[in-house]
Chains A and B, each alone.
Chain A
C-alpha cells in the first residue's frame, strides 16, 4: 500500500516535472515541443487517472467483504459440485483473469486482457462477452446524455448572453429564477414530474409509447424514419437533462459575459467602429465562453451519474439501465465493466473539453512555448 502511494507520488512529480519542463529540457527540440504540448499533458493525465481507477476497482473488488470471485467459486463448488480447478477455470474465463495465481499476477493478467479489449464474460449469460453487451447499450446513453449536454450548453450559453445584455430586465429575472429552481431539484424528480404532468395529468405526451430507445420494429440505419424515431424516444430524457443543467450554464455565462463587457478591448472595439453583432460574437462571446469549459467535466459527470436513475424512469435502454439490471442480478463482470466505461466516458468528456478550450484560447497553447525562451 505504501509502495503504491510512493509510486503514485512519483508519478505526480513526474507530471509536474513535465509541466516545469525539467525532465524534457535536454531532449531534442522537436520532442521538447511535442512533450510540452498542452494536449499531450492532458492526455497523459487522463490515461493516468483511468489507470488509477482501473487498478483501484480491481483491488477493491478483490478486497471487499464478500469478494465476488471467491463467492462465485464457492457457489460453483458447493451448489454445482465443481471441483476447485474446474471452478477456478470457469471463473478465469468469466472474469478475464486466473483466480489461482497470486494477486499481482492476476492483476497483470487483467491489465493485459483490458488492453486487448477483453472485459470478461457476463456471469448471468455465460458465453456473452461483456464488451458486446456494452456495445449494444452504450451508444444510447452517449447519444442521449451527449445530446442533452450539448443542447443545454448551447442554449444556456445563448440565454446567458441574452441575460447579460438585458441585465435587470424581465427575461433576466425570469430565467434566473427558472434556472435556479430546476437546478436545485434532483434531476430524477424532474423526470417524474414531467411524466406526471405532461403524460398523465395533461395527456400531452404518449409517455408509454415514448419508452425505450427505439420503437419495436424500426430498422436501424441512416433513414429519416429511424432518426426521427430515435429522437422521439430520446426527447424526454434529453428534456430532463437540459432542464436540470441549463441553469448553471446560463448563470455562468451571464456573469462571464458581464465581466467581459467591462474589458478594455470591448470599448476599443466600439471605438474602432465595429458592428454590435461582430463585437458580440467575436469579442465578447468568444472570450466569455472560455470559463464554461472548466465546468463541462462536472456537467458530464452529473449527467452520466443521473442517467442511472433517469434511464430507469423513462425505460431508456442505455448503460444506466443495464447497470441496474446487472446489479439486481449480481452480474459482477458486467457491473465492473459498466462502471469503468462510465468513468472513462466522464474522463473523455473532460479531456475533450480541455482540448477544445486550448484550441479556443491561444494563451494556453503558447504558454509553454513562451516560457522556454
Chain B
C-alpha cells in the first residue's frame, strides 16, 4: 500500500548555502552560488532553469559525483536517514559514499541512452548493483527487480536478458528508473528525465513517475528546463538562474502568482492551452556567462523591472508569502498579466 508520512516533520534533505566552483582553463567559475532549500520525505521538488544555470551541478553534488575540476567550497548538504542519523554529503569519504549512493539516494541521469555498460546484460548490471551493497540473495533481488520493472510497464524476462543496445531509448530510461528504486532509497534525483525522448515516451515516463511516487513514497528532486513538466510532477518548484535559486514556492502558487521576473518570463514563454491566444514572449537577451557576472542582480540586464538598486545590490532569497520565497527587490510588481508588455520602472525596496 502507500507508504507515507515517515518522520513527517523532519526534512530528508537540507541544503545550506552551497557554493560549488569549477577550475577551468579560463580561471575559476562558480556554478552554484549559495543554494539553500529543504525537502520533506515524500515531497517532489522541481528545479527549473536554462542550461548553464547550475542545476545539473547541483544534482551531481547531491550524489557526490562532481567531476574532478569541481569543488564544493562552502555549505552543507544534510541528509537524514530513516533511523534519524544525519550525514553531511559534502564531507563523506569514498567508502561512505559507496554505501550512501543508490541505497539512500539514487540518481537517474539525463538521456539514459548511454547509462548502461554496452558489454553486459541488464541483469548482470542489476546484480552488480545488488552485490555492491551486500545483497547476495539473488532470488530476492530478482523478485524485487521484476516487480519494479512491471511497475514501469516493462516485461522483465525480455529486458533482463537483453543487452542495452537491444532496447529502445525509452525502454532504457524506464529500466534506469526501475533500477534506481531497487534498494528503496529515500531520495531519487532525476536529471532531465524526459529530454531526448519522443512525446509519447515522455508521457509514459511522466505517468510512470507519478504512479511510482504514489506506490512507493520517496522524495524526488527533478531537474529540468521544462516548466510544464513541473506542473505535472512537482509539489514545489524552484527556479534557478545563474547559480542561485531565484524563486521557491508550492507549484500552484508559482504558476498562478510568480514573484520573480524570470519565473514570469518562463511562464509567458509557453502559450496557454486553453483560452484566447496571447502574445508569446521570450526573455530578451541570454543567460550571463558565469565567469563574468554583472554586479547586483544577475537577472537585471534582461529584466523589465530592473532599477539602479537592482543593478547594484544582489537581492537575497526572502519570504514573500506562505512558503514562498523570491530573490527579487521588485517582487510585488511581478504579475502574470500577459497583455502588458512593459510595467515601467517602478522601484520597490
- The residues of A with any CB-CB pair to B shorter than 8 Å are 263-265, 267-275, 278, 282-283, 286-287, 360-363, 366, 370
Contacts and interface: CB of A to CB of B under 8 A. Distances in A.
Contact of B117 (A270, A273, A275, A287): A287
Interface of B: 63, 65, 97-103, 106-107, 109, 112-120, 128-129, 132-133, 163, 165-166, 176, 179
A336 B101 CA distance: 64
B162 to A, nearest CB: 10
Contact of B119 (A275, A361, A370): A361
28 contacts: A264-B112, A264-B114, A264-B115, A265-B117, A267-B109, A268-B176, A269-B117, A270-B65, A271-B63, A271-B65, A271-B106, A271-B107, A271-B109, A272-B102, A272-B106, A273-B98, A273-B101, A273-B133, A274-B132, A275-B98, A278-B128, A278-B132, A286-B117, A287-B119, A362-B118, A363-B163, A363-B165, A370-B166
A7 to B, nearest CB: 38
B165 A362 contact: yes
A278 B127 CA distance: 12
Contacts of B119: 286-287, 360-362
A267 B165 contact: no
Nearest to A370: B166
A366 B165 CA distance: 9
A278 B106 CA distance: 19
B114 A265 contact: yes
The interface residues of chain A, by DSSP majority, are classed as: helix
B118 A273 contact: no
Contact of B101 (A271, A283, A362, A370): A271
A283 B114 CA distance: 12
A287 B97 CA distance: 25
Contacts of A268: 109, 112, 115-116, 176
B114 A263 contact: yes
Contacts of A360: 119
A274 B133 CA distance: 8
Contact of B109 (A264, A283, A361, A363): A264
B279 to A, nearest CB: 40
Name the residue in A263, A268, A278, A287 with the highest tally of chain B Cβ atoms < 10 Å from its Cβ: A268
Contacts of A363: 118, 163, 165
B117 A362 contact: no
B120 A282 contact: yes
A270 B113 CA distance: 17
A332 B116 CA distance: 57
Contact of B166 (A273, A286, A287, A366): A366
A360 B120 CA distance: 10
A270 B115 CA distance: 11
Nearest to B99: A273
Contacts of B112: 264, 268
Contacts of A366: 163, 165-166
A271 B179 CA distance: 12
The 8 closest A-B pairs by CB, nearest first: A264-B114, A273-B101, A273-B102, A268-B115, A362-B163, A272-B129, A273-B98, A274-B132
Contacts of A361: 118-119
A272 B101 contact: yes
A273 B113 CA distance: 20
Nearest to B67: A267
A210 to B, nearest CB: 42
Given A282-B120, A282-B128, 13 more contacts: A265-B115, A271-B65, A273-B132, A273-B133, A275-B98, A275-B132, A278-B128, A282-B117, A361-B118, A362-B165, A363-B118, A363-B163, A366-B166
A286 B176 CA distance: 21
B117 A267 contact: no
A363 B167 CA distance: 12
A286 B119 CA distance: 8
A287 B118 contact: yes
Contacts of A265: 114-118
A157 to B, nearest CB: 16
A263 B115 CA distance: 8
Contacts of A270: 65, 101
B306 to A, nearest CB: 39
A15 to B, nearest CB: 25
Nearest to A265: B117
B195 to A, nearest CB: 14
